[in-house]
Amino acid sequence: MEKQGLYLPEFEHENCGAGFICNLNGEKTNQIIHDALEILVKLEHRGGVSADGKTGDGAGLLIDIPHDYFKRVCDFSIPNQREYAVGMVFLPKVSNQYYFCKTIFEKELKIQGLTVLGWREVPVDSCQLGEIALASEPNIEQLFIGKTDKIDEATFKAKLYAARKIAEHTIRKSKISESNYFYIPSLSITTIIYKGIIMPEDIGPYYKDLQEIDLVTRLALVHQRFSTNTMPTWELAQPFRHMCQNGEINTLRGNVSRMRVREEIMKSDIFGPQIDKLFPIILPGKSDSASMDMVVELLTHTGRSLPEIMMMMIPEAWEKHKTMSKERKAFYEYNGCIMEPWDGPASVPFTDGDYIGALLDRNGLRPSRYTVTKSGKLIMSSEIGVVDVAPEDVKEHGRLEPGKMFLVDMNEGRIIEDEEIKSKIVSERTYQEWLDKTRLHLKDVPYTSETCPIESIDVKTRQRLFNYTFEDIQEVITPMALVGKEALGSMGTDTPLAVLSDRPQLISNYFKQLFAQVTNPPLDGIREEIVTDISLNLGKDRNIFSITERQCRKLRIQNPVISNADLEKIRSIDIESFKAETIQILYTKSKGLNGLEDALDNIVIQVEKALEKKNNIIILSDRGISQELAPIPALLACSFVNHQLNRLRKRSYFDIIIESAEPREPHHFATLFGYGASAVNPYMVNEIIRMQVKEGFITGMDEQKAVDNFNTAIGKGILKVMNKIGISTLHSYRGSQIFEIVGFNSQFVEKYFPYTASRIEGVGLYEIEKEIDQRYKQAYPDNKINKNLSLNIGGDYRWRRNGERHLFNPTTVSKLQQAVRLSDQDSYDVYANAINEQAESLMTIRGLFEFDNLDPIPLEEVEDWTEIVKRFKTGAMSYGSISREAHENLAIAMNRIGGKSNSGEGGEDRKRFQKDINGDSRNSAIKQVASGRFGVTSHYLTNAKEIQIKMAQGAKPGEGGQLPGYKVLPWIADARNSTPFVGLISPPPHHDIYSIEDLAQLIFDLKNANREARINVKLVSEVGVGTIAAGVAKAKADVVLISGYDGGTGASPLTSLKHAGLPWELGLAEAQQTLVMNSLRSRIVVECDGQLKTGRDVAIAALLGAEEFGFATAPLVASGCIMMRKCHLNTCPVGIATQDKELRKNFKGTPEHVINFFFYVAEELRKIMAQLGYRTLAEMVGQTHKINSNKAIKHYKAKGLDLSSILHRPTAYKSMILKNTEEQDHNLENVLDFTILKDSHRALYRKEKMNLAYPIKNTNRTVGAIISNEISKIYGHLGLPEDTLNINFTGSAGQSFGAFGSFGLTFTLEGNTNDYLGKGLSGAKLIIKKPVKADFLAENNIIVGNVCLFGAVNGQAYINGIAGERFAVRNSGATAVVEGVGDHCCEYMTGGKVIVLGKTGRNFAAGMSGGIAYVYDPENKFSNGLCNTETIEFEYISEEDAAELKTIIEKHVLYTESKKGATLLADWTTSLDNFVKVMPTEYKRALERIATEEPMFEELIKA
């Protein structure tokens, strides 16, 4: 779909199901095709369907070229196998364009000296297509190409590649209307691809070839796509030519821009001078997988093997790997100099026809299960159970491990293990020698006697010039220098966007960080540090085709935030191959705009000259400013040099170091790296810190230590910014431009910040210069009035009179409180006017709108306020972050008026589920499910009217949270089902949502857990949120919430408060436009929140497309909050954001205050509705014509804004559905639970013991949740007595087997399961065992998938085999036995017991704060490096422990007939010696404290 309104196609995402199947004996069979099609059908739930219900997001398969079949069906003769190539070609429908494309392609083939053997029309049955697919269906033909000359295979392939690339470029540039129909899915001498936007079950019927029984193959790669948009295209269906992918490449933007740079210096013997015609290698506007495939394809022509290419592009996390071989590390380090990682959650099956294999990303974020059969089949797929295999035929069940490769040599007919293939590849060249010889480390560069330049003007003047305030020094810089961490803030941000601010802004402030939500996960760089790295290599790049030691002649910097001394070293570096030149980024102040523009151009000229002199490190420096010479914003200079030199094709020759006084916050550094810097020296901050130490504001350390602390804090901050978007290494982040600009005009962006989204126009170079001028005026006042204050006081983070304006200020807070307390309409009016009337002082985008097309009606005709408030909700604030008093107050108020309050993350005291005696209800209507899953049980979910999945939160999208142990008081712990005084971590990602199909799965899980509740998905506004919302609608959420970046009550790093995410106006409008365009709007309710404060705010939100509205800060203020912004310190003086007993007594809010607030808001809204002519709110939704954005704006910065894209109406908008009109079809009717429900009547209602049995398949998902829901409804959280309902299943269970299983259920599964076994387990017993008939060794085979027992609260699990990654993540009470696990086992665990009888992966117990784990470790591998010992200690196993351990293992043997268990028990004393007990330090302390501090429970009992 084309760019329109706020919708930008480049932000579409896709995730999927993928797999392959092959015959290890090299036999070609038709069965493989059948199996492949079956896999597709069985993965259907991982794919997406368009609004027409028939057009899939894309499905396809890649197979061997069926030589014999083609010989039969082609009416021309074809040479021997591998002597010809077959192209699958999509062509235009219009006949002259069709011929045009054919001719061009043929011509290019001929130029390459190849012969066209003939075209074959591919027989298809178009009846199988949905409306959308049919509309874009191409003519599909196959082209057979032969060699003319005797050329080797590599040359043949290269010629095919060149011909195809050039034909593609030619046709793309030809401007014919159907040029986008022309696409060549495959052009190969070995493989061919059949794909389209077809439902999986239709792909066979559509491509008639696939039904022919003589169509045979050895291998098949299959793919089923789920894209977030619903205008899928034929060409983006997968597989691609060499690979397909399940996941998402988060680093794509950086990779693409780096590839553009690489093209500058590409040279190749095989392509010769025509190589220039191949560019761009990556066609613009394609998906991440398509782009990656294009690079893989290029690299196959560089003499690297396919497995080597995959290792180069998706390296393992080698940097911090303790046990990896030296040779392998050298390989990765060497290749790191050539290619940055393509990083993100990705399982990538690949093939070139000879090899077929798959690789998993460094963090193991996608499931990849495989089965090898005795009969010689290998099936690898996102799920197990996709092809029926008899248990006795199974030779091995395995899974792909993080960063690991899995390869089959089709010609040898064998599986090559990761170790073997990688050892072979890494030993092909002497990488270590090359590195030792050529690699330079910064620490090895000698210090110089040069001291850093001395500034001629005084420090205070310079600080004013660079916009420093007291607040910057006190609140931003000093804390970082003191503790090496960024300071926290609370209560969101309510200051104007940079473009609306009167105060001069650093240009970084116009940039908003993008972050991952839904389609890809953010990372946890703290707990999963092993996968992160911020080191960078500096120096000249080299031709990617050459594989020589020169490639790694680079300077390696460990932390690219460098000190003055390090910078001096580099400045005067005198080592072969390295030469640095400093270029001043200053302009002549008096020349104004022209001076600035000329200076920028001049910098580029200077860089070019420096390059001629063989410099390869360019230091851009703003030192040396004066009254005459002004600094060019470092980010502007950096980005311009980065892009302009690329335009000049010289970017490969150097790297950029920034020496600037500007950067002080992590965000400033992040933007610099994001636009191409390779190191930054913040010299002014260094100076300030040294002064702060001298003056005694920083004590307890010397100056250098304080500076180092700051640099470390920035390093961590950048890591956090990267992790937000799911990027692990700075190497991949550098130059990636993962930002959206708010408030730059497009001309300016195009020249200086190309490839970055900026959708509402705004300022340009002229205004930027004006802002610098303003800074000058402050720095050099006209007359010499002695100022008592040398700097501005600040006021960004806390209100100050002469500081930045805030929406919540003394007047608005006090007037709102006066209004609700004294029921005083006049005060409310003062409040609302102060917020609404932003004409004079622009603060928000909505403030720039005016109502238009008024059509007044009498106020009485407008629906009552009591109706309106039913659409109002209070924000998600957890009990724990706010006090019980404040939390319950909101709930009572909302329940009284029929609105909804939100539990927030952190469970809810179950006593609140019952009504109070006076009829009030303290039960939160909305129950949140966040990444920590605290207190999320079947019972909790059962008591919800709405269940909200928090994907991100406005205050800090892409980040997790932490409730430190001292705040986890007994009553908080109880609500969260955790241990008192044990810290709780909410990870950045939901560990069961790494992609869109995972979200669909969680929605399905929750819908099963409570069928009556609406499922709400909370997103935060950013560019691309529209496509995500469309994805969420397709994933069948009932409600999607678009949150503004500025809202949020929780604690958050200062950088995140201000610089991540966008105002809701943009996100909401984008979501509305995208949903409407895709005909998805009718299926979903759209909600909006983020600094909503008045009826006018609600009116604007409704007109932009929202039908429900969330408020958090304002109702808190109505309850007494006075915006201390100290919520994270537990010192809230008004008893809201605190657990302090004494302070909580100060809470004076009442439900009436909150109700008064909503009454006033609704009444204000009613008046606006009457003016506009709407009787009901429903009529208003999406009526953007009632908003006028053309208000005359006088403000010099804001007048350049163009808000029309927010009000954009897609064609035929009027006739389209603009609001929610129907319910989602959740397809629950076929759920196995309903069958079980029918059969288990006696157990459920009469508590009789019952035994039932069912077969099970991978398409039976979330088995047990509905039964548990029924049990919870009747019996509450206690459920049924143990073993009341016993069910035996056989087969491969689908995802979320046993999810939220409640007490009384016992599931025994003979077979295996997919991911999320026992998610949210609430008391049930799960037994997973190897089928009796199978003869493989259970303890060596994988039996359950990833992320099992996530958020389990209670219950037992006995697993007779190995589990995948992140076993028992965030377990808070379940007991589990398993015979082996993958990486990150017991991550964030807070309670329960986990017993591992076999091998573990890396990073065991990361962030584990509670519970106990026992690991059988006879070879001491676990205790020597696999366990993350940051929060735990190894403890002696007491007799009591030993007895308990033995009992549990005995049960395991009893239930699963585990051989491993039996063996251990047989020699128990020896076995016991080999067990390691993992005890979290905090847990141990907490247990001691609980034992001694009985009185703390008082409160709990009282509650």
Indicate whether 1324 belongs to the interface with other proteins (CB under 8 A).
Answer: no
Report in angstroms how near the CB of residue 799 gets to other proteins at its nearest: 5
Residue 799 region by backbone torsions, left for phi larger than 0, else alpha for psi between -120 and 50, else beta: beta
Q: How far apart are CA 97 and CA 371, in angstroms?
A: 47
Q: In what order do the strands lie in the sheet with 511-513?
A: 511-513, 739-741, 757-758
Q: Is position 337 annotated as part of the catalytic site? A: no
Torsion on CA atoms 378, 383, 389, 390, rounded to nearest 10: 130
Among 427, 590, 627, 811, binds other proteins (CB under 8 A): 811
Binding residue for other proteins, selected from 290, 604, 1123, 1172, defined by CB under 8 A? 1123
What's the chain's Rg over C-alpha atoms?
32
State which of positions 476-495 bind other proteins (CB under 8 A).
490-491
Residue 323 touches other proteins, criterion: CB under 8 A: no
Candidates 16, 101, 337, 552; catalytic one: 16
From CA 1167, how far away is CA 1169, in angstroms rounded?
Answer: 5
Nearest to 236 by CA among 418, 55, 427: 55
- Cα–Cα distances (Å) from 1366 to 517, 710, 1130, 1338, in that order, read 20, 33, 32, 20
DSSP-derived secondary structure for 19-39? EEEEETT---BSHHHHHHHHH
Q: Please say whether the beta carbons of 1299 and 1320 come within 8 A.
A: yes
In angstroms, rounded to a whole number, what is the distance separating the alpha carbons of residues 167 and 179?
11
237/487 with CB nearer other proteins? 487
Q: Nearest distance from residue 793's CB to other proteins, in Å?
A: 6
Instruction: Pick the closer one to other proteins by CB: 18 or 1143.
Output: 1143
The structure tokens 């309902």 sit at 1285
Q: Which of residues 53, 272, 285, 781 is near other proteins by CB under 8 A?
A: 781
Cα dihedral across residues 207, 211, 216, 218: positive or negative: positive
Q: Which of 590, 1131, 1227, 1447 binds other proteins (CB under 8 A)?
A: 1131
Residues in contact with other proteins, total (CB under 8 A)? Answer: 51
Contact between 224 and 19 (Cβ < 8 Å): no
Minimum Å distance from CB 783 to other proteins?
Answer: 5
Stretch that binds other proteins, among 365-373, 672-680, 1118-1126, 1254-1262 (CB under 8 A): 1118-1126
786 binds other proteins (CB under 8 A): yes
Residue of 814, 1288, 1340, 1429 that binds other proteins (CB under 8 A): 814
- Near other proteins by CB under 8 A, which window of 735-743, 776-784, 982-990, 1082-1090? 776-784
Site for other proteins contains 126 (CB under 8 A) = no
* Smallest separation (angstroms) from other proteins to the CB of 714: 23
Out of 53, 810, 1281, 1418, the residue judged to bind other proteins by CB under 8 A:
810
Closest residue by Cα to residue 349 from 366, 362, 332? 366
The pair phi, psi for residue 24, each rounded to 5°, is -70, -20
The single residue among 3, 437, 787, 915 that binds other proteins, judged by CB under 8 A, is: 787
**CB under 8 A: which stretch of 144-152, 225-233, 780-788, 1200-1208 binds other proteins?**
780-788
Count how many Cα atoms sit within 13 Å of the Cα of residue 1362 in the half-sphere of its side chain.
23
Helices and strands of the chain, counted as H and E runs: 47, 52
Using N-to-C axis directions, what is the helix angle for 810-822 and 825-836, rounded to 10°?
150
Which of these ranges, 52-60, 543-551, 1134-1142, 1230-1238, lies near other proteins under the rule CB under 8 A? 1134-1142
Q: Tell me the two tokens of residue 298.
A: 């290029």
Closest CB to other proteins among residues 1138, 1458 = 1138
Residues 816-855 that bind other proteins (CB under 8 A): 817-818, 821-822, 830, 841
What is the footprint of other proteins within residues 674-703 (CB under 8 A)? Answer: 695-697
Residues 6+ apart with CB under 8 A from 1398: 1339, 1362, 1378, 1379, 1380, 1381, 1416, 1460
Contact range with other proteins by CB under 8 A, out of 278-286, 531-539, 777-785, 1357-1365: 777-785
Residue with tokens 């130029």: 111
**What is the x/- site pattern for other proteins, positions 440-479, by CB under 8 A?**
------------------------------x---x-----
Q: Which of 13, 815, 887, 1093 binds other proteins (CB under 8 A)?
A: 815
Considering the rule CB under 8 A, would residue 432 count as an interface residue with other proteins? no
Closest distance between other proteins and the C-beta of residue 174, in Å? 60
Query: Cβ 721 to other proteins, closest distance in Å?
Result: 24
- Determine how many CB atoms are found less than 10 A away from the CB of residue 1119: 27
Stretch that binds other proteins, among 9-17, 530-538, 783-791, 943-951 (CB under 8 A): 783-791
Which residues is 763 bridged to in the sheet?
744
CB 624 within 8 A of CB 455: yes
CB 682 within 8 A of CB 663: yes
Which of 839, 859, 1129, 1253: binder of other proteins (CB under 8 A)? Answer: 1129
Give the nearer residue to other proteins in terms of CB position, either 831 or 913: 831
Nearest distance, CB of residue 574 and other proteins, angstroms: 45
Which residue's CB is nearer to other proteins, number 554 or number 1128? 1128
CB of 625 to other proteins, least distance (A): 21
Nearest distance in Å: CB 801, other proteins: 4
CA distance 1499 to 1173: 53
Q: Of 80 and 783, which has the nearer Cβ to other proteins?
A: 783
Minimum CB separation of residue 460 from other proteins in Å reads 12
Q: Which is nearer to other proteins, 812 or 995 (CB)?
A: 812
**Which H or E element spans position 183?**
strand 183-188
- Could you tell me if 1362 and 1400 are in contact, meaning their C-beta atoms sit under 8 angstroms apart? no
Determine the interface stretch with other proteins among 525-533, 782-790, 1100-1108, 1386-1394 (rule: CB under 8 A).
782-790
DSSP state of 1312: E
Residue whose CB is less far from other proteins, 778 or 1079: 778
User: Which pairs with CB-CB distance under 8 Å and at least 24 residues apart come from 277-280?
Assistant: 277/162, 277/165, 277/166, 277/169, 278/161, 278/162, 278/165, 278/166, 278/169
Which range of residues in 744-752, 784-792, 1281-1289, 1413-1421 is near other proteins by CB under 8 A?
784-792
Q: Give the nearer residue to other proteins in terms of CB position, either 550 or 1126.
A: 1126
Pick between residue 105 and residue 799 the one whose CB is nearest to other proteins.
Answer: 799
Q: Which stretch binds other proteins (CB under 8 A): 389-397, 812-820, 1002-1010, 1210-1218?
A: 812-820
Taking the complex as a whole, the smallest distance from the CB of residue 456 to other proteins amounts, in Å, to 21
Out of 1133, 1173, 1210, 1425, the residue judged to bind other proteins by CB under 8 A? 1133
* Cβ at position 1339, least distance to other proteins in Å: 53
Q: Are 879 and 887 in contact (CB under 8 A)?
A: yes
Q: Which of 460, 910, 1126, 1257 binds other proteins (CB under 8 A)?
A: 1126
Q: Give residues with Cβ within 8 angstroms of 229, minimum separation 6.
A: 1, 9, 12, 1027, 1030, 1031, 1074, 1078
Hey, what's the torsion of the CAs at 48, 51, 54, 57, to 10 degrees?
Answer: -30
| Residue 1125 contacts residue 797 (beta carbons within 8 Å) | yes
Which residues contact residue 1351 at a Cβ distance below 8 angstroms, ignoring those fewer than 6 apart?
932, 933, 934, 936, 1319, 1320, 1369, 1370, 1371, 1372
Mind telling me the catalytic residues? 16
What is the binding site for other proteins (CB under 8 A)? 470, 474, 490-491, 695-697, 781-789, 793, 797-802, 805-806, 808-811, 813-815, 817-818, 821-822, 830, 841, 1122-1126, 1129, 1131, 1133-1134, 1140, 1142-1143, 1146
